[in-house]
Amino acid sequence: MPLLVVGSTAFDSIETPYGKEVDCLGGSAVYCSLAASLFTEPRLVSVVGKDFPKASRDLLATKKVRLEGLEEAAGKTFRWSGRYSADMNSRETLSVELNTFGDFRPKIPKQFNDSAFVFLANGSPETQASALEQVSDPTFVVADTMDLWIETKKDALLDLLRVVDGVILNDQEIKMLTGENNLIRAGRKALSIGPKLVILKKGEHGCFLFSNFFHHALPAYPTEHVVDPTGAGDSFAGGFMGFLAECDSLSIWNLKRAIAYGTVTASITVEGFGVRAIAEATRERVERRYQELIQFIAM
């Protein structure tokens, strides 16, 4: 099945201990779509400015990302710049220019209304909800969010979490959302808000998958060459959702495999600046790395 992805398209200027690159193609929906494209057809719904180059559009099209929902508005494309710490476990935002993304009102093209699998990348909960309302009868909807929305739009976020199937959070976000420091208790509390699945990303420490029926832990792929962590979370979401959309099955076994595929696509993304590594990845490379991950955790 195809995967509807709603979120940002951006140009990022990134500084890490491995170098500095300016105006790399990025944005949550782009990372997610590129990772998902390894498994299924991503339907991108996003907005760019008049400055969005044909080369970036072509890159996405080459990866079979459907672009009918990529709106081109007057003004410039969203721009972000940031700098990572020496151990790359934290980053500082140097500048944000929302540009056209500041007024993003997602319009789901008619031919995408029937999407069964939907990923609402990070955005204001109202924007996420308005996108979701335009999908007629989705099977599986997962939302991402961030500290800003937990702080400033908590009620709208809680409303959204009651209608989606799953939420993806990192450890800081889940602590902030639930007020629990213990991650297992935080997972249970997040489930009690409403979503059937809570996916907790812990970066280099792997992830947890919580449901009311089972809890599952998966270590991260043992990456030795992290060049640029930007987009790791969105690539995780893309691998996770893309694999499930490909399977068109939400069995416990497939959910566990899906977070392993998400782990793999995230591990590929961080090995290059911007989207370079994930855009160059092949399904064969994904499968090889998936087997390596399974070996790494096998008892």
Residue 132: strand, helix, or coil: helix
Tell me if 211 contacts a second copy by CB under 8 A. no
- Single out the segment in contact with a second copy by CB under 8 A; choices: 38-46, 119-127, 132-140, 202-210: 202-210
Smallest gap from residue 239 Cβ to a second copy (A): 16
For residue 188, what are its two tokens? 């249970």
Residue 105: strand, helix, or coil: coil
Tell me if 19 contacts a second copy by CB under 8 A. no
Tell me if 181 contacts a second copy by CB under 8 A. yes
Strand order of the β-sheet with 10-16 is: 19-26, 10-16, 78-84, 91-97
Q: By C-beta, is 67 or 217 nearer to a second copy?
A: 217
Report how far Cα 10 is from the mean position of its chain's Cα atoms.
14
Tell me if 95 contacts a second copy by CB under 8 A. no
Torsion angle of C-alpha atoms 160, 252, 34, 148, degrees rounded to 10:
30
Among 130, 134, 211, 223, binds a second copy (CB under 8 A): 223
Tell me if 218 contacts a second copy by CB under 8 A. yes
Among 215, 247, 271, 285, binds a second copy (CB under 8 A): 215
- Residue 97 to residues 79, 81, 229, 233: CA-CA distances in angstroms? 5, 9, 20, 21
Q: By C-beta, is 153 or 215 nearer to a second copy?
A: 215
- Single out the segment in contact with a second copy by CB under 8 A; choices: 32-40, 70-78, 158-166, 255-263: 255-263
Residue 285: strand, helix, or coil: helix
Among 185, 212, 283, 288, binds a second copy (CB under 8 A): 185
Torsion angle of C-alpha atoms 111, 114, 119, 122, degrees rounded to 10:
60
- Single out the segment in contact with a second copy by CB under 8 A; choices: 30-38, 92-100, 178-186, 231-239: 178-186
Smallest gap from residue 173 Cβ to a second copy (A): 15
Among 204, 247, 271, 285, binds a second copy (CB under 8 A): 204
- Single out the segment in contact with a second copy by CB under 8 A; choices: 63-71, 142-150, 154-162, 198-206: 198-206
Tell me if 198 contacts a second copy by CB under 8 A. no
Q: Which of residues 72-91 bind a second copy (CB under 8 A)?
A: 86-88
Smallest gap from residue 197 Cβ to a second copy (A): 16
Tell me if 284 contacts a second copy by CB under 8 A. no
* Helical ranges in the chain per DSSP H: 28-36, 54-62, 125-133, 147-152, 154-163, 171-178, 183-193, 232-247, 252-269, 276-280, 283-297
Q: By C-beta, is 87 or 284 nearer to a second copy?
A: 87
Q: What is the 3-state secondary structure (H, E, C) of 34-77?
A: HHHCCCCCEEEEEEECCCCCHHHHHHHHHCCCEEEEEEECCCCC
Tell me if 288 contacts a second copy by CB under 8 A. no
**Residues in contact with a second copy, total (CB under 8 A)?**
33
Whole-angstrom Cα distance, residue 66 to residue 101?
Answer: 19
Whole-angstrom Cα distance, residue 262 to residue 136?
Answer: 26
Region of 64 on the Ramachandran plot (φ > 0 left; ψ -120 to 50 alpha; else beta): left
Tell me if 206 contacts a second copy by CB under 8 A. yes
Which residues form the interface with a second copy (CB under 8 A)? Answer: 86-88, 181-185, 202, 204-206, 214-220, 222-224, 226, 253, 256-257, 260, 294-299
